[in-house]
Amino acid sequence: MFPILKVLISRPNVRLGNTLMLTPLIRELQQRLPDARVDILTACQDSDRIFCGFDNVDSIIQLPRHGARHPLRFLKKLKEIAKGYDLALDPCPRSRSSRLYTQLSRAPIRAGFISDSKPRNASVAGVSFAQAPRHMAQYPVYLFRQTMQLIDTTDYPTMSLSLAPTEMAWGQQQIQQFFPDTAPGSPILGFYPRATGAKHLPFTWWHSLFEILSDTVPNLNFLEIVAPGMQGILPPSDKHGRFSSPDVRQLASVISATNTFVACDGGIMHLAGSTRTPVLGLFTYTSPSTYRPFNCPTSYAMPVDVTSLAHVAARLGTQITHSSVTNATDRQLPVSNVFAHAG
């Protein structure tokens, strides 16, 4: 077989979590095809920041979010797809547009899933989705392995932003600023209390959870991740910190400096699950086996409703007590200009 030196990943999705779940495939390609350069077709506005930590990623082909409103920009981006790929992967079992863009790539090897949403297509090598692993972050790796006729194992790369040591040191510095009077070794619980639609848990539920944890975990500090333009749900104090940024790498760097992170299923949960911090994902109706945090062995997914308060508090209390900041870095590393390029 000819060498594969140029790879296209077709995933024109706007969501942060879905885009982060491509990172195991990027890591797999780093290991299996170390000389290959990877382009990613996406509609996620955070893609540049998500993939900038990977040396094998070459170009981000950013589709306009509303292509019909920007037809010239959209067509210009599509022309970039037909520039000589050796392998094109369509890792989503449902998206019809990702299949179309894979076909347009003209790569000699074009592969995608055969599923109820995507029938077999003569121009794309089909891989049955029926035997794919359950987690969405594993789908792309499974597709690649099947396409290349590699032995598939249960050993899959985890999600990761590939944060640099300087980025993690910057996150540690922010934590020190939030809690300057905290005794060394005091645990820090990071959390994001917002979610869309039925994924959301009432803020009163979160307040009750924090009251229980404050009583049961000595010296516990709380760090809330707040979306830009939104209000936090805990008042600032020496035990309550807040951090907000439009930059996903800044958010991840701060999250990486916490002992444990808790959030409902959503983009911020997956962002936390792209660091080495243990994550507790709360699932009200989506599938934990498909969307659970996919980073370290101590991360956990828990189906919940408003009556699950005691169970969540017990699980978090155990996780906080037995966890440590596993990705602690040398706090003397230079951090002043780590994010000077961030918008």
What percent helix, strand, coil does the chain show, rounded to 5?
35, 20, 50
Rounded to whole angstroms, how far apart are CA atoms 1 and 69?
Answer: 42
Q: Which residue intervals of the chain bear CATH 3.40.50.2000?
A: 6-147, 165-322
- Buried b or exposed e, range 116-155, using 16+ CB within 10 angstroms: eebeeeeebbbbebeebeebbbbbbbbbbbbbeeeebeee
Closest alpha carbon to 249 in 20, 56, 55: 20
Quick one: CA dihedral 97, 99, 103, 105, positive or negative? positive
* Global confidence as pTM: 0.91
* Alpha carbon separation from 214 to 89, 157, 166, 171, 256 (Å, rounded): 48, 35, 32, 24, 22
Q: What tens digit of pLDDT does each residue of 284-336 get?
A: 999 999 999 999 899 999 999 989 999 999 999 999 988 754 433 333 333 43
For 330, the 3-state DSSP assignment is: coil
Q: What tens digit of pLDDT does each residue of 208-221 get?
A: 999 999 999 989 99
How does strand 188-192 pair with strand 260-264?
parallel
Q: What tens digit of pLDDT does each residue of 126-143 get?
A: 999 999 999 999 999 999
Q: Name the class of domain 6-147.
A: alpha beta
Identify the CATH homologous superfamily for domain 165-322: Glycogen Phosphorylase B; (3.40.50.2000)
